Structures are given as C-alpha cells and as structure tokens.
Structure 1
C-alpha cells in the first residue's frame, strides 16, 4: 500500500471548493459554472489537485464524475471545510447586520425587572441568535465592571468616585420604593400609613449604603424618628420572599420589583400603603465614552433607549 503524501502547503481553498462542487453536482462543467470559472480552468485545477494527492479523485463515466475511494475521503474533508466557511460567512453577515453576537448587560434591580426584561424579549424576537448575558448588582459594581470592559451597557446610578467624563450617560429615571408584607400582616388593613406607624417593625432590606436602605433610614430620620434597628440585610429576592411569607417582617423594594412579586404571589404578598411617596435618586443608561460597540449591542441600546422613553 502506498501512503498518500499530500503537499498541504500548495493546497488552497480554490481546490477544496472545486472538489466540493464536483462531488455535489457530479459534473465538471456544472461545477465550473457554479464557481464561475471556465471548464478548461476547472480541468486544470482538478489535475493540479490530483497531482498534489498523487492519485485520481474522480473517474468519469456516462453518468458523470464518480469519486474514487481516496476521492471520497478527500471530498468528506472538503465538504466539511467549505461548509464551515459558509457558516463563518453567515455568522459574520449576521453579526454585521446586528442579528447575532454577544451582549453583556448590567443593571440595578428595578430597571432590570422593568426595562431590561421587555427589551431583551424584543431583541430576541428580532435576533434570536443574540447571546445575552445579564447581571443584577449594585451601581458601584456595575460601573467598575463597565470600565473594566466586563459590560457593554449598564443601567445604574453614578457613584461619586467614578469619573463621569469616561462615560456616555443617557436618559435617567427615578425609582419609587414600595413596602411589602405577607398577606394577613397586622398592618394589612390600615390604609395610608405614616413612617411613625412603622417605627417598631422588623425589616428585610438591602445592606447599608444601598439606595433603598439609605432612603428608608433617611425617611425616618427626616421625621425625627429612630431608624429601624431590627433589620435583615439581603439583596436576594428569593430569600426576601421566603422570609416575608413566614414572618411579620416588612420589605422595602422598588415599584418594578413589587409589581413582579405581587403578580407572582397574589395570595401570599400584599403592599403596605404609605401616605407619602418615597423616591430614589435617578439611575441612567450608561456605556463607555468613545468605545465602539458591536452592531448587536447598538441594536439593544436603541431598543433600551426606546423602552426607557415610554
């Protein structure tokens, strides 16, 4: 048995495409036409390939060109490479058209629920091949991540230590704080409570320094009341819901989160109505200044901007 000694350095994509076309059509003339070359040029190229392989790849018969045994092996690999190239071209076209690619989004909890969810749903309808990664975290983590290139876009507040000149800051929105409790809570039937009515209550809320925690504590202080002392710190909605359902604790969450929880646990959770609105400082749609984004990221940015404008 004589082993094939293929001169791979002289083998190129033109050779593979011709072999793929001949195997696909069974006719040299049709393959040449498919590749937009003359039949004599196709014949010369096939002869060149067979010289590199050292054996005929096809035999001619009245029905067309039939691959030899070594030809079938060569065709299998040619098909795979040409097919992969076709996939590569399709993927590149999809990427350039904003139909595919990777998007990394970071958001604080309220806008993640209220705006990122519907925006990603709209994007996936138009571009199902888009790979979307979403993190929900405090603003400081999100902005630090954005500047480290961990995110393409964030919805967050701007911490004081961040240089805003490095950011492209778009539309801002504020969040309203709501208070939730379990159904049957002792305060359930009281309509429109003041903060003095909540002084002795236990709370489950985000940790010290978080916007909701600061807003709740400041609301008590502004009314010459003691800030809550019986507090459990957590940013976990799963833990918050589980704890609320089995205690008389109150939870402070954003309006978007409250609407989500009340819709998913209509028989288990209630809202404790307050006499006064409690508004958080605004968050913004942010990306890095002067940083070019991929077409799919630009597409999501436009959709998110539109969603925030509604």
Structure 2
C-alpha cells in the first residue's frame, strides 16, 4: 500500500465522491470531466493497491477500506481549507465563521453582549452560538464542532486535553409569576418552597444537583410535583401560567424579570444564596483559533471581567 503517495487532489476527489455518491456530481464539484474523474478514481486505486468503492444502481458504494480512506481524506481536506480560511482572515481579521456553545447563563451574561460588539466590529462575520447543557456542549466539542465553549467539563472529558479558564459561580434565582402566593414574602427557606410544583433542568444537571443539596441542607422535603425540562421557553410558559417555581441563573432571571420583556415574572426573596459550581471557557489544547474566533474570545473575556451591575 502506498497511500502516502496520494496527492491533495486525490484526497479532494475521494471526499467529494464519498459525499456526493455519484461520479458525475464529484466531477462537477472538482470542475473536471467525467472521463477525468474515472481516471482519477483508477489512479487512486492503483496507488493504494486495492478497490475502494463499487458502482451500484444508486451510485458508488464505499467498502470498509474506502470508508477509512474517505474519513481521513475529509479531515485532511478540512484542515487545508482551514489554512486558506486563516490566511484570508489574517488579511483583514474581520471575516470568517465562529462556532461556539454556551450554557444559558453564560450565553446571556457574556456571549450576548460580546456578539453585539462583534457585529459592530465585523458585520460580515458568521456567528453560530448554540445554547445547550454542558454535557451536550462537551460531546459536540469532542466531535470538533466548536471553536470553544462556555460550559463545564463532563466525566467523559480528559482535563489534560483542554485549556480550561474558570469564569465563576452561577448564582441561582427562583422565578415565579407575579401573583404567586410566595411573591410578596421575604427571607424564604426551602421548606417554604417544598409544597409547590417545580420546573427544573433534568436530574443530574448542575442546577438540579445544587437545588437538591439546598433542600437536603435545610432538611426540607424535596418537591413531589416536578416537570423536568432544559427548555427556557417551556419553563417560562409554565411559570407564567401556574404556581410553579423555576430555578434560573441570576443573569437569566434578570432578563426574564426585565420590564421591557413584560413576562410578569418575579424572583423570590430567599434567606440564603445558592450557587452552582463555576463554569469555564474551554478550548482544545494545541488548536489554533482563527483570528475572528480569537477576536470573539477576547470580547467574551472582556465581558467576563466586567463588574456585574
């Protein structure tokens, strides 16, 4: 096998044929004729010393060896395209695509203001921000979908593989509708909150764990009527229509209780504060961020260090 003698155009062709499934479509993507595409496939199989795919009624079907080769070709082609991307972005520093993920509190407190600043500096930038629980974000981080995330490492993550920059604790507020029976009371304990229905993130999530510990520390009964949901929209709808209580990060609660949102949501006056352990800015070690991603990260870190109003 002499796969090391494959050229970049060979790898591009393998990637195109695997994705498109038909020789004509791969030839079109490569901007070559169909006979030239057939010769390219023959050249590739001659170099590697075996067949990598076969034709069927629907196009080309890759065999096990071909699938391995196509997966590696896809990575190489992506890295080469990233080189071109970085060179272009270095020229002006204001174009390209940034893909990040964030837990809800970080998205509201840090990513939102930073994204508004980025829009002013780089109006043509493509920005993707996914708001998900940390477990989902880290799964997608491991899959290479993000430049960086604002989240917490999961048990499946190797801390040595990441550059982890702590942000701070996530202070919780407890949201209810304006006319909730507890809305006008002060110095509430978790015993006071036990009889009511709750809407909370799924069991095992950091917020769920923190709330469970808070009830346990006061020897209060954990609520019996609970709806588990990670959806902020569903949680807000439930709280606004029932006497349910929902824990939110302070930054999210401040947004939901703002007058201009008119959600008619208030937060309870608790006798003691409750905080979720710190989340972090997480980057993969050894991966060079694009100039635009680095610019966005700098804007986010500036928001992190900004004093909370």
Q: Do both share a fold (TM > 0.5)?
A: yes
Instruction: Report what 1:284 is aligned to.
Output: 280
The runs of 5 or more residues in structure 1 that have no matched partner are 1-88
Question: How far apart are 1:192 and its partner, in Å?
Answer: 1.6
Instruction: Report what 1:295 is aligned to.
Output: 291
Residues 130 and 95 of structure 1: CA distance in aligned 2, closer, same or farther (over 3 Å): farther
Q: How does 1:47-86 map to 2 (within 5 A)?
A: none
Residue 264 of structure 2 is aligned to residue 268 of structure 1: yes
Instruction: Report what 1:214 is aligned to.
Output: 209
Question: How far apart are 1:265 and its partner, in Å?
Answer: 4.0
Distance (whole Å) between structure 2 residues aligned to residue 247 and residue 96 of structure 1: 55
Residues 144 and 247 of structure 1: CA distance in aligned 2, closer, same or farther (over 3 Å): same
Aligned residues between the structures: 222
Instruction: Report what 1:245 is aligned to.
Output: 240
Normalised by the length of structure 2, the TM-score is 0.69
CA contact (8 A) 1:115 1:307 kept: yes
Instruction: Report what 2:143 is aligned to.
Output: 148
Distance (whole Å) between structure 1 residues aligned to residue 124 and residue 263 of structure 2: 38
Residue 161 of structure 2 is aligned to residue 166 of structure 1: yes
CA contact (8 A) 1:176 1:280 kept: yes
Residues 193 and 102 of structure 1: CA distance in aligned 2, closer, same or farther (over 3 Å): same
Residue 192 of structure 2 is aligned to residue 204 of structure 1: no
CA contact (8 A) 2:200 2:229 kept: yes
Bigger Cα displacement from structure 2, 247-256 vs 259-268: 259-268
Bigger Cα displacement from structure 2, 209-218 vs 108-117: 209-218
Distance (whole Å) between structure 2 residues aligned to residue 309 and residue 248 of structure 1: 36
The RMSD of aligned alpha carbons is 1.9
Normalised by the length of structure 1, the TM-score is 0.68
The runs of 5 or more residues in structure 2 that have no matched partner are 1-83
CA contact (8 A) 1:171 1:305 kept: no
Question: How far apart are 1:124 and its partner, in Å?
Answer: 1.1
Question: How far apart are 1:161 and its partner, in Å?
Answer: 2.4
Q: How does 1:77-226 map to 2 (within 5 A)?
A: 93-94=88-89, 96-226=91-221
Distance (whole Å) between structure 1 residues aligned to residue 137 and residue 269 of structure 2: 31
Question: How far apart are 1:94 and its partner, in Å?
Answer: 4.7
